[in-house]
Amino acid sequence: MRALVIGASGMVGGALMRALSQRGHEATGTYRNYPIEGYSLLDVNDGPSAERLILQTNPDWIFCPAGMTRADLCEEKPYEARRDIFEGPLNIGRLGKRFGAGFVFYSSSYVFDGQEGPYCEEDQPKPLNVYGQCKLAAELAIQAQLDRWLILRTIVVYGLEAQSKNFVCQVLRAAQSGTRMPVTIDQISNPIYSEDLASSSVELAEQNKIGLYHVAGAVSLDRFNFGQLVCEVFGYSPAFLDPLPTSQLLQLASRPLHSGLRIEKAQAELKTPLRGALAGLQAMKEEMLVKESVKRRGI
């Protein structure tokens, strides 16, 4: 397939570019603030540039992991959140429809309130914060207005990424610098390795599937346990992690606590394994060692 990845400079976008190339597809990537050589600059809200890029690349599928991703920032800037998470991506989905491309949108477990997780695709969404509300608004509009669409809800994604922002990278940085790090004890999720999410996305598009899928890891655990597991796999003492209840973090956006996504539907339809946190972290460590060795040898 020919693919266009909007937001290829981010974690999921980077993994998508790798998965597409590994599976023999042709991919064009875009960035917004973090330039990457060979990728095109694109803001999701710039319709004319998006249209030009779609015409130039003639994609079969547009993957759109782009948008604001920090829940507290969305709470602070609801107008920008709605524009970047809902309106901009929806417009790109509509352009795709006009030119014959399917659209893959990345949503979140934050569409749920975290009272009774883990959730399946049929459970009733009830977002607690602006980020979740914007994701849900986008989901509903995509389902109503597009023909070939995939909505992939995911949760706590981790992996190697150019900008090293994700939770596992934060834990590793704190471990290496000896900085104390507060981590919540009451947020339950089933984290997914970015490479598994990316391969699943490409596999679903290859099969020309349409629909809503929960794509997450196979094992649920709370964030503090996840931090401890990161330390165990990467060989650090977890003593620098400070366990705290979410209420003490005083975050602007309310968090769904007992969350997590049930993944039976994705597991039944995918060959890509959705690894649990231990296997995913081990794979990430291996990938990191390969990268470091390649760098050392100057290849």
Ligand X SMILES: NC(=O)c1ccc[n+]([C@@H]2O[C@H](COP(=O)([O-])OP(=O)(O)OC[C@H]3O[C@@H](n4cnc5c(N)ncnc54)[C@H](OP(=O)(O)O)[C@@H]3O)[C@@H](O)[C@H]2O)c1
Angstrom distance (rounded) from CA 187 to CA 199:
26
Measure Cα distances from 82 to 77, 78, 132, 134 in Å. 9, 6, 10, 6
The answer to whether the CB of 233 falls within 8 A of the CB of 285 is yes
> What beta strand segments (E) does the chain contain?
2-5, 26-31, 40-41, 61-64, 102-108, 149-154, 157-158, 181-184, 188-189, 192-193, 211-214, 221-222, 241-244
Cβ distance to ligand X smaller for residue 164 or 293: 164
Cβ distance to ligand X smaller for residue 88 or 127: 88
Tell me whether residue 259 is exposed, middle or buried, using C-beta atoms within 10 angstroms of its C-beta: 0 to 12, 13 to 18, 19 or more.
Answer: buried
State yes or no: residue 263 binds ligand X (CB under 6 A): no
Cβ distance to ligand X smaller for residue 138 or 241: 138
State yes or no: residue 187 binds ligand X (CB under 6 A): no
The answer to whether the CB of 206 falls within 8 A of the CB of 271 is no
To the nearest whole angstrom, how small is the minimum distance from the Cβ of residue 297 to ligand X? 28
Cβ distance to ligand X smaller for residue 20 or 66: 66
Residue from 2, 23, 32, 77 touching ligand X (CB under 6 A): that is 32
State yes or no: residue 12 binds ligand X (CB under 6 A): yes
To the nearest whole angstrom, how small is the minimum distance from the Cβ of residue 152 to ligand X? 8
To the nearest whole angstrom, how small is the minimum distance from the Cβ of residue 296 to ligand X? 27
To the nearest whole angstrom, how small is the minimum distance from the Cβ of residue 34 to ligand X? 3
Beta bridge partners of 106: 152
Q: Which of residues 107-146 bind ligand X (CB under 6 A)?
A: 108
The site for ligand X, by CB under 6 A, has a size of 28
Cβ distance to ligand X smaller for residue 11 or 20: 11
Angstrom distance (rounded) from CA 226 to CA 190:
9
223: three-class secondary structure by DSSP: helix
State yes or no: residue 154 binds ligand X (CB under 6 A): yes
Tell me whether residue 218 is exposed, middle or buried, using C-beta atoms within 10 angstroms of its C-beta: 0 to 12, 13 to 18, 19 or more.
Answer: middle
Site string for ligand X, 58-97 (x = CB under 6 A): -------xxx-x--------------x---x---------
Q: Please give the residue ranges that form the binding site for ligand X (CB under 6 A).
A: 7, 9-13, 31-34, 42-45, 65-67, 69, 84, 88, 106, 108, 154-157, 165-166
